[in-house]
Amino acid sequence: MSVVLYGSPSTASLVVHWLLIELGVDHELRMLDFDRHEQKSPEYLAINPQGRVPALLLDGQVLTESAAIAMHLADLHPQAGLAPAIATPARAAYYRWMFFCAYTLMPAYRSWFYADEPAGEANADEVKARARQRIEAAWQQVADQLEAHGPYLVGAQVSAADFVLTMLMRWSRNMPRPTDRWPVLEAFARRMKDRPSFAEVYRREGLTDWT
């Protein structure tokens, strides 16, 4: 299978890159320079018209959306055990938390990082304040889940949802209340960061923070 990942350091492509390494999938990595707006180039827009990363090419098929790609990779490699069996309670919980990441945390983070987008620069401070409230409330829900049903999101077995969640935890590292302020989240992150694949994706992307 031909596998090509388009990404950029510290973006949503990190989790896809991490999973490819975790799963031992041979791939070509094409990093885009956001400072040069390569994600908006005609060549890249022909691959992903949204002008965002990640984009994963599997034998020429274009896949976008980091959570969706993570789920597909887990299903393509069942031997890794990163997705619970279909039609089980664990699978239902896996769907719930994967889409919690995609529909609750990711939009709130976008409002935090790009606060001028929803209502203009004049209202950016208010947008950020509300985004922070949503983000911290969401992390409290995750902490409660891990406290009651951990050590991972769907119980004893790590899943692709945990990889997505860990990436989103990293996004809070410079916020007023980073996720490490919740002891149960800090312990969860430590388990994920101790995986050899995490050190390897950091090495390949040249990342040094939040280790």
Is the predicted pLDDT of residue 118 greater than 90, yes or no? no
pLDDT value of residue 201: 98
Long-range own/partner contacts, residues 197-203 (CB < 8 A, 24 or more apart): 197/18, 197/21, 197/22, 198/18, 198/166, 200/21, 201/14, 201/17, 201/18, 201/21
Separation CA 125–CA 112 (nearest Å) = 9
Is the predicted pLDDT of residue 102 greater than 90, yes or no? yes
Average pLDDT across the chain, whole number:
97
168: number of Cβ within 10 Å = 25
| 3 state DSSP class of 138 | helix
Query: Among 203, 192, 194, 184, which residue's Cα sits nearest to residue 82?
Result: 192
Is the predicted pLDDT of residue 133 greater than 90, yes or no? yes
Q: Read off the pLDDT of each residue in 92-119 and give the average, rounded to a whole number.
A: 96
Contact (Cβ atoms closer than 8 angstroms) between residue 132 and residue 110:
no
Token representation of residue 77: 């490699």
Per-residue model confidence as pLDDT tens digits over 26-83: 999 999 999 999 999 999 999 999 999 999 999 999 999 999 999 999 999 999 999 9
Token representation of residue 177: 């209340």
Give pTM, 2 decimals. 0.97
Is the predicted pLDDT of residue 1 greater than 90, yes or no? no
Separation CA 77–CA 81 (nearest Å) = 8
Q: Read off the pLDDT of each residue in 152-171 and give the average, rounded to a whole number.
A: 98
